[in-house]
Structure 1
Amino acid sequence: MNRFFTCHPVQHSFQLFSIEHLVTLAIIVVIGTFSFLCRKQLRRKRFMFVLLSLVLIVSEVAYQAWEIGCHQWSAKTSLPLQLSDIVVLLAAVMLITKSRILFYFVYFAGISSSVQAMITPDLGGYAYDQFRYIQFYVSHGGVVLACCMLIAICRYQPTFRSLWMSVLFVNLYGAFIYVMNRLIGANYLYMMKKPEHASLLDVLGPHPWYLVCIEGIMILSFLVLYLPFWMHKKIKGSKSKVNFVEGE
């Protein structure tokens, strides 16, 4: 138990794209796929929305409690202000309220940031059999699964307009975080400097130019996330035209 809740991981205990890492990602993909394959059955089990919402909230509360218990809580690093953290709380509210506005934002900003976080996690070395690792993937994976549930069960779909509204809101949030960083001397969203560990930002140039690259990558990732729905609309529209012509 002490090892599970350890505050000081063994150095280099987490290995990027190790078997444990890949299995974790595979489990999230399988559960997401399950929500689509079993969507008819899940429509009769609406408590699943409340359950996943509680999991997300408990996950964030447990993390804050763990940080405090480890005597390493700091306003500079522990507040849920990273984009992939704030969407955890927004996803919990989204599941309860079924808000389409929140869905649009969480779908684009939440999935893109959570997927990136899960593929290249900032875990500080915590391994798969430790609390921080489990909490990290439960919260970020839960955001992706929350969107999958609303798409599969409630048939929500993002719109092209909501894509650009999400871009706007992310930039407004970034402006707010920049002010917060200056006020408390933090580095949320890595707006002030790159993270100390190796990351994707290392290949995007020096500060502040990598922020411009991040903006481009964000827009591109949003477009990729919208692509399946755009293709679905095109195919559906083509079928409707064919049926209309055949019916004449």
Structure 2
Amino acid sequence: MDFLKYLFRNTAEYSDFNIFGLAHITILFIGILGIVFILKRMNVSRKFERILGIVLLAQQIILYTWYLRSRYKLLTEGLPLYHCRIAIILTGIGLFFNKSICKKIGSIWGLIGAVSALVYPVLDPFVFPHITQISFFIGHLFLLWSSVYCIFVECIKLSKKDLKIIIYFTNIYHISMFIFNHIIGSNYGYMRVSPIGIGNDLHPVVYGLIIIAIFNALIVFMNSLMNRQQKNNTNLMKLYA
């Protein structure tokens, strides 16, 4: 009971997590092992999809339960408005309920966001162990694996209509977060301040437009990658037919 109380504490301290330290490298190694396993061993499986969906959704439920109970920066940090949180929710719904458009949006945002977050984690100011740290890495690892599964195993493909929906959704999100952040002083989507410091000297509008442009370019790249993967799989099926 004392351990659980400590794990779910709400008194901020400082983050003792060292980027590219032993713990970080171990987590990255686990992430890579999971990718290799999925690519080499997994076939399309509804059971596996449901397991991934349950983990993703449970992680989010536990995280927001803590934010609600602790009241720790509930408005500025505790809303499901970061890229990866939205991607986790959409991917979890998509995998568990087999919703195609949710998988598509979630896996594209998820692969971009999970790789970025795992390589350069931005953690809440708590000494390990804390629920936010555990939730962060579980959520992003399973988001990474889920995205890899959807794109490279299930081989989901975007139609022109899907691509338009995702681009509209993404740009509306970024514009909304730009306005919302400047109203309440939050940094959802990192649309106000860069977590790595690059671009923070720019005019806020210029910085926001650059983030939007980069994300749109990444979506186009992901679409090209997914189409190529689909084409490769089709060619393999013809070869072995």
Question: What TM-score does the superposition give when structure 1 sets the normalisation length?
Answer: 0.78
Structure 2 residues not aligned, in runs of 5+: none
The yes-or-no answer on 1:22 pairing with 2:25 is yes
Question: Displacement, 1:91?
Answer: 0.9
Farther-moved stretch of structure 1 (2-11 vs 23-32): 2-11
Give 1:13's aligned amino acid.
D
Q: What SS does the corresponding residue of 2:16 show, helix, strand or coil?
A: coil
**Separation (CA, whole Å) in 2 of partners of 1:10 and 1:176:** 31
Cα-to-partner distance string for 1:201-227 (whole Å, 9 max, x where unaligned): 446734121112212221332244344
Farther-moved stretch of structure 1 (155-164 vs 59-68): 155-164
Question: Displacement, 1:178?
Answer: 4.3
> Is the alpha carbon distance of 1:22 and 1:224 closer, same or farther for their aligned partners in structure 2, counting shifts above 3 Å?
farther
**Separation (CA, whole Å) in 1 of partners of 2:92 and 2:48:** 12
**Computing the radius of gyration over CA atoms, which structure comes out larger, 1 or 2?**
1
Structure 1 residues not aligned, in runs of 5+: 244-248
Q: What SS does the corresponding residue of 2:7 show, helix, strand or coil?
A: coil
2:112 maps to 112
Give 2:118's aligned amino acid.
M
1:34 maps to 37
Percent same amino acid at aligned positions?
18
Question: Displacement, 1:151?
Answer: 3.6
Give 1:18's aligned amino acid.
G
Question: Displacement, 1:24?
Answer: 1.0
**Separation (CA, whole Å) in 2 of partners of 1:155 and 1:237:** 10
Farther-moved stretch of structure 1 (182-191 vs 9-18): 182-191
Cα-to-partner distance string for 1:40-93 (whole Å, 9 max, x where unaligned): 4x63xx322222212112111111222234331522321101121111111111
2:79 maps to 79
Question: Displacement, 1:26?
Answer: 1.9
The yes-or-no answer on 1:51 pairing with 2:72 is no
Q: What SS does the corresponding residue of 2:204 show, helix, strand or coil?
A: coil
> Is the alpha carbon distance of 1:116 and 1:239 closer, same or farther for their aligned partners in structure 2, counting shifts above 3 Å?
closer
**Separation (CA, whole Å) in 2 of partners of 1:238 and 1:156:** 16
Cα-to-partner distance string for 1:92-138 (whole Å, 9 max, x where unaligned): 11002322222221122222123222222221344564321110111
Question: Displacement, 1:189?
Answer: 2.3
Residue pair 1:84, 1:114 contacting (<8 A) in 2 also? yes
1:124 maps to 124
> Is the alpha carbon distance of 1:108 and 1:232 closer, same or farther for their aligned partners in structure 2, counting shifts above 3 Å?
closer
Number of residue pairs the alignment of both structures matches: 236
Question: What TM-score does the superposition give when structure 2 sets the normalisation length?
Answer: 0.79
> Is the alpha carbon distance of 1:159 and 1:118 closer, same or farther for their aligned partners in structure 2, counting shifts above 3 Å?
farther
1:139 maps to 139
Q: What SS does the corresponding residue of 1:219 show, helix, strand or coil?
A: helix
Q: What SS does the corresponding residue of 1:80 show, helix, strand or coil?
A: coil
> Is the alpha carbon distance of 1:184 and 1:38 closer, same or farther for their aligned partners in structure 2, counting shifts above 3 Å?
same
> Is the alpha carbon distance of 1:154 and 1:234 closer, same or farther for their aligned partners in structure 2, counting shifts above 3 Å?
closer
> Is the alpha carbon distance of 1:239 and 1:87 closer, same or farther for their aligned partners in structure 2, counting shifts above 3 Å?
closer
> Is the alpha carbon distance of 1:239 and 1:82 closer, same or farther for their aligned partners in structure 2, counting shifts above 3 Å?
closer
**Separation (CA, whole Å) in 2 of partners of 1:24 and 1:56:** 17
